[in-house]
Chains A and B, each alone.
Chain A
């Protein structure tokens, strides 16, 4: 599996798409953050756009997974005798590293800016707690890419998911339902209404991650590749 990870990292270093998406993510979040920076800390302000920015994770999954199916790059890995589980895991880990990384790095940069300009503390504990929910958020586009194995249907289903999510976030009772959704946890943190016992939320994140991980792998494990 280390070979797959190395090959993926080599590709990332030479591919403009992931860097462009990560830069775009940072710029868009930075535009949105000042809207909420009145009496809200920079850290909390930069949590607010996370669910709305999932389309950037969808774009990343299209570039790093869907496109690889479309261009038959993944097929090359299979035909070279690599285990499908190793291919899946290597691909997913590098995707999660980039997609979760761009959320965390953006959060950290804005928190640091809050520390420098307004003396706000950087809540490393909260970032660490939210990390599984970020992974859960990023797993959704990856799941769609492994299920549909192309760009077109992954994009279509990703947009449908995005619309449903946006609609659900506009629902008045979203604060109650947010507990059960990985993208809802950053909303709870933004509103500063996280429950005192976080184990329940972590368990929900873990269930989401396990279900999406298993579903993605099952969709890839014995599937015919074009």
Chain B
């Protein structure tokens, strides 16, 4: 059961008549980095707030490491680190003092964890500088440091790269990958920067209008987005023989509807068309296709909106 870090079953969250989440079910497996994708107001932060106990669902159940119920969830939340929207910091304190408040309230006995964590996020040299004098990027890093303070098994980062410069974004990305690889930390990151999520996540959850539209792994996503020649024909078996015998390729896939996705000859569509025509195979569609990531996500979100 520990392989499932978090599960929600039929979660609905209503604010008056508006359903911010509508019958959402989702499982997050241990050791993966989940990219949580959705437009503003799609329900990302609402779901994160339910998981972290900041809000209560109207209906449905939340499980953390297989445990449910208020008391059990509270207990399990000690294994979570979170940064939700902008970091909650005391402006009149230093980075160290902010971390110290969190260390005390989280009941972590080892004080040295503060220096180690500040070093991990590149804030070890801030000394007596008050947080009110920090840049947006420094505050964001300190927020991440606070989330990491209790060495969480499950890290939730809501828009963690907001305000970071390109170097900072790269550092956070490398940090997330390191935490995942070295400590097996399960990570849920929501961001509207799709390119960055693609570079970081191993799995993606797409949410729109309070509903999960799709859960997809990085490999599946790559597969779906891969450029290919799409051959539509009522005689797919004959077409396969032509591809194998005349064009000497096995680099294709037959989809359940009989459409063939050919990954070779992308720069020589005429050769494929000619080979099929020679054997008098009726072709109803022949085109090079494949989405960019952005197109794919927008297609999914647009599709859900229809």
A contacts, CB < 8 Å to B: 3-4, 6-7, 10-11, 14-16, 71-73, 75-83, 222, 224-226
Contact = CB atoms under 8 A, between A and B. Distances in A.
Nearest to A13: B97
B77 interface: yes
B55 A224 contact: yes
A222 B56 contact: yes
Q: How large is the interface on B (under 10, 10 to 19, 20 to 34, 35 or more residues)?
A: 20 to 34
B74 A73 contact: no
CB-based closest 8 A-B pairs: A81-B77, A81-B78, A224-B55, A7-B105, A79-B52, A72-B88, A7-B104, A225-B54
Contacts of B140: none
B101 A11 contact: yes
A6 B146 CA distance: 18
Contacts of B150: 80
A10 B82 contact: no
A226 B101 CA distance: 21
A73 B77 CA distance: 16
Given A6-B104, A10-B104, A14-B97, A79 B84 contact: yes
B102 A3 contact: no
Interface of A, helix, strand, loop or mixed by DSSP: helix
Given A3-B105, A10-B101, 6 more contacts: A71-B89, A73-B90, A75-B88, A80-B106, A81-B75, A225-B49
A14 B92 contact: yes
B80 A79 contact: yes
A157 B74 CA distance: 32
Q: Which of A10, A15, A81 has the most C-beta atoms of chain B within 10 angstroms of its own C-beta?
A: A81
B53 A79 contact: yes
9 contacts: A7-B105, A10-B100, A11-B90, A14-B90, A73-B90, A79-B54, A224-B49, A225-B54, A226-B54
B106 A3 contact: yes
B76 interface: yes
B281 interface: no
Interface of B: 49, 52-56, 74-80, 82, 84-86, 88-90, 92-93, 97, 100-102, 104-107, 146, 150
Nearest to B100: A10
Given A7-B104, A14-B93, A15-B90, A81 B54 contact: no
A21 B146 CA distance: 29
Given A10-B100, A14-B97, A224-B54, A82 B105 contact: yes
A80 B74 CA distance: 8
Contact of A81 (B49, B80, B86, B104): B80
A4 B105 CA distance: 5
A208 to B, nearest CB: 29
Contact of A72 (B78, B84, B92, B101): B84
Nearest to B107: A3
Contacts of A6: 104-105
Contacts of B49: 224-225
Nearest to B149: A80
B97 A83 contact: no
B76 A80 contact: no
Given A4-B105, A15-B92, A80-B150, A75 B84 contact: yes
Contacts of B77: 79-81
A3 B104 contact: yes
A153 to B, nearest CB: 18
B160 to A, nearest CB: 15
Q: Which of B84, B90, B105 has the most C-beta atoms of chain A within 10 angstroms of its own C-beta?
A: B105
Contacts of B88: 71-73, 75-76
B53 A7 contact: no
A10 B85 CA distance: 25
A3 B89 CA distance: 18
